């Protein structure tokens, strides 16, 4: 049955013209057995449906389904005795609702009561470099597929060029808007809050607030839950950038079906965004002591590996530091983050930035930080809760910093 449905969907997907799919709907699906969960995961791997939650977990799942296969999707779920209900009739309406709430931004200001567009983020980065030139360097490390600047901020008080570096990126998955907001909050606190100046005295920071600007912009104007880049070929739009790194590429939790949400690309580093990110990591790898990649929405602090159950050689160090961060956040704010390796907490996956940073760039302390989900829609995190989440995690950032300063400065 899986094979029949998969074949029908694949051929239907192939016949359907590429373009904005504003008729996407979201279903809640409740698998009751392992076979039903496996069935859904195969569909996600080999078709254009998208499962937001991990299909290996017994909880109810949120599934995005393009309009041209909705009837087939409902029919097959009924045949498989899978409970489902429609919970979002029109994803595009969420984009329209969000755009109505956006007000113009005064130059240089940043708000944590709204989600900022790419141009606003760029303006804020420029503002920081102009107003804090002694500690802030604003530069670009490449261009996206649609020729947007891939930008970063380096924070340094100068002096030695051998200070340890904490490297942060966010927004590699376009729809996870809370992740760039977290990176911006960290920037704001490090640069504009003088009480945090001790955090930059002995440690340098490189922060990329938006690693996938094309996908991020597309999620604001066309498809709120777009995940991938915006590169295109004869039969596809976009690649999952966190399956595109050259580390055990396309062997687990990824797909070679071009319209899959976890499409790994035609080859490793096929995406300008992932290649550029790998280059800036390699260029600074001698001094990067901690790499944090922000995502949502599993509320977890995760370390390598994603592609195997084998433990990293410094597993005790990785785990203990993550627990310190977890316990600090719980003690101060009561928010509990799970601590685990990537593949166990989420699902097996290959080609991730974290596994690549650990094994290829040689960075010993690597974490995927999964911020909380936002209610029923998971990635549609309410803007009025941004500050609460970002403040929580910044307390964890202090712990990370203190460890790096003590061990490496």
Q: Tell me what pLDDT residue 55 has.
A: 44
From the DSSP assignment, how many helices (H) and strands (E) are in the chain? 13, 12
Least confident of 84-88, 262-266, 337-341: 84-88
Given this structure, which CATH class describes domain 2-89?
alpha beta
Reply yes or no on whether the pLDDT at 58 is more than 90: no
The three-class DSSP label of residue 77 is helix
Q: Using one digit for the tens of pLDDT, what is the confidence trace for 84-104?
A: 888 877 766 665 555 555 444
What rounded mean pLDDT belongs to the chain? 88
Averaged pLDDT, 153-181? 94
Say how far apart CA 296 and CA 37 lie, in whole Å. Answer: 22
Distance CA 373, CA 389 (A): 10
The active-site residue, picked from 176, 258, 261, 370, is: 370
Question: pLDDT band for position 14 (50/70/90)?
Answer: very low
Q: Cα dihedral sign for 326, 328, 331, 335?
A: negative
Is there a catalytic annotation at residue 311?
no
Domain 108-408: CATH class, spelled out:
alpha beta
pLDDT of the residue at 33: 87
Q: DSSP states of 155-200 as a string?
A: E---S-TT--EEEEEE-SSTT-THHHHHHHHHHHHHHH-GGGTHHH
- Of 293, 154, 328, 136, the closest CA to residue 210 belongs to 293
Residue 28: which pLDDT band, with cuts at 50, 70 and 90? confident
Q: Where are the domains of the chain?
A: 2-89, 108-408
Instruction: Give the span between the Cα atoms of 59 and 125, in whole angstroms.
Output: 40
More confident call, 148 vs 383 = 148
Closest of 315, 326, 334, 327 to residue 388, by C-alpha: 334
């Amino acid at each position: 049955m899986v094979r029949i449905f998969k074949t029908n969907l694949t051929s239907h997907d192939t016949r359907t013209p590429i373009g904005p799919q504003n008729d996407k709907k979201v279903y809640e699906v409740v698998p009751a057995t392992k076979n039903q969960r496996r069935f859904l995961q195969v569909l996600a791997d080999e078709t254009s449906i998208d499962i937001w939650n991990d299909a290996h977990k017994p909880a109810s799942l949120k599934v995005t389904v393009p309009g041209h296969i909705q009837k087939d999707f409902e029919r097959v779920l009924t045949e498989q005795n899978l409970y489902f209900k429609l919970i979002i009739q029109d994803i595009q309406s969420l984009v329209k609702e969000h755009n109505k709430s956006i007000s113009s931004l005064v130059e240089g200001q940043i708000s944590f009561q709204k989600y900022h567009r790419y141009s606003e983020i760029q303006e804020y980065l420029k503002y920081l470099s102009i107003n804090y030139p002694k500690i802030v360097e604003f530069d670009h490390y490449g261009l996206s597929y649609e020729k947007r600047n891939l930008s970063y901020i380096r924070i340094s008080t100068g002096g030695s060029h051998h200070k340890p570096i904490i490297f942060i990126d966010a927004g590699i998955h376009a729809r996870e808007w809370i992740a760039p907001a977290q990176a911006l909050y960290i920037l704001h606190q490090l640069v504009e809050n003088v009480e945090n100046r001790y955090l930059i005295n002995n440690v340098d920071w490189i922060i990329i607030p938006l690693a996938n600007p094309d996908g991020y912009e597309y999620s604001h104007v066309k498809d709120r839950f777009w995940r991938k880049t915006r590169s295109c070929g004869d039969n596809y739009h976009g690649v999952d950038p966190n399956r595109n790194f050259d580390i055990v590429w396309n062997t687990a939790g990824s797909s070679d079906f071009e319209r899959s949400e976890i499409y790994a690309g035609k080859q490793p580093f096929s995406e300008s965004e992932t290649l550029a990110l790998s280059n800036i990591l390699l260029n600074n790898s001698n001094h990067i002591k901690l790499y944090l990649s922000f995502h949502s929405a599993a509320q977890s602090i995760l370390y390598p590996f994603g592609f195997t159950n084998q433990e990293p050689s410094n597993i005790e160090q990785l785990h203990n530091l993550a627990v310190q961060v977890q316990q600090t956040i719980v003690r101060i704010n009561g928010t509990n983050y799970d601590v685990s390796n990537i593949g166990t907490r989420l699902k097996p996956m290959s080609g991730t930035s974290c596994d690549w940073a650990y094994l290829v760039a040689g960075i010993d302390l690597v974490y995927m930080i999964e911020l909380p989900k936002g209610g029923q829609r998971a990635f549609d995190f309410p803007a009025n809760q941004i500050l609460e989440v970002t403040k929580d995690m910044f307390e964890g950032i202090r712990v990370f910093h203190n460890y790096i300063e003590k061990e490496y400065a």
